[in-house]
Amino acid sequence: MPMHFTDRPHDLTVGVLGGMGPLATADFFTALVRRTPADKDWNHLHIVIDNNPRIPSRTRAILFDEAPPTPYLIDGARRLEAAGAQLIVVPCNSASYFLDDVRAAVATPILDPVMATSRAVRERGVVRPLVLGGMVTHRANLYGRALAGDGIDVVRPTDAEQDQVAAAIEALKSKDASRALVERVGELVRAGAARGADGVILGCTEFGLIADRLDTMLPVFNSNDLLAARTLELARTDTSSC
């Protein structure tokens, strides 16, 4: 009989449906490993990553009616399930828009950053968070819908500001995490604060790459890091509240 070299044999195996984009997936994996209290390698979580950057653009599917990512997301979720994943996480806010059909296609619970971040916003008591996210997150008002009924009224960027948000996300995908880019995002945060925002949701996982460099007094909700925190919590308990 094989021996199990771990003090945590009941932790769930986590499947990461990634590649949207690859840097955000890598940042999520790093955040999850760093958050895990483990004194030995074998006490970390078993994590299976499907990093598929060939998944069609979530943004182009919405803006230009191009190929939807849903079939690819379903295929990825099924691969992770077949690989033994007991909890699937998706480090992409925009992908959250398409996950209803994916959840219906697999038996494994799926956690997304909108769920994890909205939970943290409620717990913190923030009532007017500024949401900085991609075009899908913005146009579908994913956070406004997720937080509806909780007395929380999200602050949305203006059309001109949203263009700047989208440009910042594309720059981060291109590995530009320069001081100038951080300052441009900081200006967007200050504009939201001037309109009454009492917190800021970094509603694109790429923003996790610069979250700790933003100069603001507002509480910052880094959706990638919060997804990692919630993943760890669920993987070391159960998925009943996922």
Known catalytic residues are 92, 204
| CA angle, residues 76, 241, 94, in degrees to nearest 5 | 40
| CA–CA dist 204, 91 (Å, integer) | 9
> In one letter, which amino acid is 153?
D
C-alpha dihedral over 16, 63, 128, 132, to 10 degrees?
60
Spatial distance between the Cα atoms of 168 and 173, rounded to a whole number of angstroms: 9
Angle at 109 between CA 104 and CA 113, to 5 degrees: 100
Q: What crossing angle do the helices spanning 159-173 and 179-194 adopt, rounded to 10°?
A: 150
CA–CA separation, 128 vs 193, rounded Å?
Answer: 9
Instruction: Take residue 164 and report the two structure tokens written for it.
Output: 């700047």
Question: Does residue 69 sit in helix, strand or coil?
Answer: coil
